[in-house]
Structure 1
Amino acid sequence: MQHILLKCVIGLASLSLMASSVYGQAAFVRGSTVIFEDNLKHEKAGEFPSQWRLVRGSAEVARYEGENVLSLLVTRTEVAPLMREKSYLPQAFTIEFDYLMNDLRQHAYEVSFFNENGRRSGTLRFNGERFTLGGRGGTVAEGSTSETRAGFQPGWRRLALSFNQHELRIFSDGVRVLNVPRFEEELRSFQIQGGRPSNARPNSDAFIRNVVVAEGGMPLYERVMSEGRFSTTEIQFDVNRADIRPESAGVIDQIFQLMRDHKDLRFSVEGHTDSDGNVELNQRLSQQRAESVVRALAEKGVSPDRLTAKGWGASRPVADNATEEGKAQNRRVEFVRLETTE
Structure 2
Amino acid sequence: MKRIVLLIGFCLIFTSQADAQSFLNKLGKSIKETVENTVERNVVEKTEEVTEKALDVKANKKNGESTDDEESENESQDNSVQNTKQEPQQKLSSTSRYDFVPGDQILYFEDFSQDAIGDFPALWTSNGSGEIKTVNIAPGNWFHLNGEDAVYCYMEEIDFPENFIVEFDIIPDEEFGYGIQFTLYQEREGDPKELNNDLYPGQAGLHLVLRNERWESKGYKDGEDWIEGSASKNPVIREKLNHVILWIQKRRVRVYHQNEKVMDMPTNIYPGVKFNRIRFSGWDRHSEPFISNIKITTASPDTRSKLITEGKLVTYGITFDVNKSDVKPESYGTLKSIADVLKENGSVTVKIIGHTDSDGDDNMNLDLSKRRAESVKNELINIFGIDAARLETDGAGETKPIAPNDTPANKAQNRRVEFIKTN
- TM surpasses 0.5: yes
Do 2:245 and 2:257's aligned partners in 1 also have CA atoms closer than 8 Å? yes
Assess if the C-alpha contact under 8 Å between 1:37 and 1:328 holds in 2.
Answer: yes
Percent identity (aligned): 26
TM-aligned CA deviation for residue 175 of structure 1: 2.0
TM-score (norm 1): 0.80
- Where structure 1 has 5 or more consecutive residues not aligned to the other structure, the ranges are 1-17
Of 193, 196, 199, which aligns to 2:280? 193
Structure 2 residue ranges without an equivalent (≥5): 1-91, 190-201
Contact 2:354 2:394 survives alignment (8 Å):
yes
In structure 2, how many angstroms separate the alpha carbons of the residues matched to 1:67 and 1:286? Answer: 19
Q: Residue 306 in 1 paired to residue 379 in 2?
A: no
Q: Secondary structure at the match of 1:312?
A: strand
Q: 1:110 aligns with which of 153, 177, 181?
A: 181
Alignment CA distance shift 1:77-1:223 (3 Å): farther
Pairing 1:28–2:112 present? no
- Counterpart of 2:86? none
What is the Cα deviation at residue 205 of structure 1?
A: 2.5
- In structure 2, the residue corresponding to 1:145 is in which secondary structure? coil
CA contact (8 A) 2:116 2:132 kept: yes
Q: How many residue pairs end up in the alignment?
A: 310
Mapped pair 1:177 → 2:265: no
Q: Write out per-residue CA displacement over residues 36-55 of structure 1, whole angstroms, 9 at most, x where no aligned residue.
A: 22222232233220232x25
Q: What SS does the aligned partner of 2:141 have?
A: strand
Larger Rg: 2
Q: Quote the Cα distance in structure 1 between the aligned partners of 2:282 and 2:270.
A: 29
Cα distance, 1:324–1:266 mapped onto 2, change above 3 Å: same
Matching of residue 79 in structure 1 with residue 152 in structure 2: yes
| Equivalent position of 1:261 in the other structure | 344
For residues 19 and 166 of structure 1, the distance between their equivalents in structure 2, rounded to whole angstroms, comes to 30
* DSSP-derived class of the 1:309 partner: strand
Counterpart in the other structure of 2:314? 231
Moved more, 287-296 or 67-76: 67-76
Match of 2:143 among 70, 74, 84: 70
Whether the 8 Å contact between 1:267 and 1:338 is mirrored in structure 2 is yes
How far apart are residue 332 of structure 1 and its match? 0.6
- Aligned equivalents of 1:277 and 1:194: distance in 2? 35
Cα separation, 2, equivalents of 1:209 and 1:123: 19
Q: Out of 177-186 and 297-306, give the one that drifted further.
A: 177-186
Structure 1 residues 258 and 164 mapped into 2: Cα distance closer, same or farther (>3 Å)?
Answer: farther
The CA deviation at 1:157 is 2.3
Matches of 1:38 and 1:95 in 2, distance apart?
12
Answer whether contact 1:40 1:69 (CA < 8 A) is retained. Answer: yes
Select 2:227's aligned residue among 120, 135, 139.
139
Hey, what does 2:49 align to over in structure 1? none
The whole-number CA distance in structure 2 between the counterparts of 1:177 and 1:169 is 8
* In the alignment, structure 1 residue 274 sits paired with structure 2 residue 357: yes
Amino acid at match of 1:155: K
Q: Which amino acid aligns with 1:216?
A: A
Across the aligned residues of Structure 1 and Structure 2, the Cα RMSD in angstroms comes to 2.8
Q: Partner residue of 1:208?
A: 291
Partner deviation per Cα, 1:299-332 (whole Å, 9 max, x = no partner): 1211122222121111111111111111111111
- CA distance in 1 between counterparts of 2:133 and 2:104 reads 30
Deviations 1:172-217 (A, max 9, x none): 233211112344442422423233869x5xxx52321221111224
Q: 1:111·1:190 contact (CA, 8 Å) conserved in 2?
A: no
Task: Give the direction of change, closer, same or farther, for the CA distance of 1:261–1:78 in structure 2 (3 Å limit).
Answer: farther
Larger RCO of the pair (alpha carbons < 8 Å, separation 6+): 1
Check whether the contact 1:106–1:197 (CA below 8 A) recurs between aligned residues.
no
Which one has a larger percent strand, Structure 1 or Structure 2?
1
- Correspondence for 1:58: 129
Question: Counterpart of 1:50 in 2: which secondary structure?
Answer: coil
Alpha-carbon distance in structure 2 between the residues aligned to 1:120 and 1:281: 47
Q: Does the residue aligned with 1:99 lie in a helix, a strand or coil?
A: strand
How far 1:146 sits from its partner (Å)? Answer: 5.3
**Is contact 2:166–2:246 with CA below 8 Å preserved after alignment?**
yes
1:166 to 251, 257, 267: 251
Q: 1:96 to 1:297 in 2, by over 3 A?
A: same
Structure 1 stretches of at least 4 aligned residues deviating more than 6 Å after TM superposition:
18-21
Deviation by residue 1:220-240 (Cα, 9 ceiling, x = unmatched): 113334532111122223443
SS in 1 for 2:232: strand
Question: What is the TM-score of this pair, normalised by structure 2?
Answer: 0.66
Instruction: State the Cα deviation string for residues 279-301 of structure 1 (Å, max 9, x = none).
Output: 22222222222122112111121
Task: Output one character per residue of 1:67-114: Cα deviation in whole Å (capped at 9) or x when no partner.
Answer: 53212233442223343xx34112221111122323466432112222
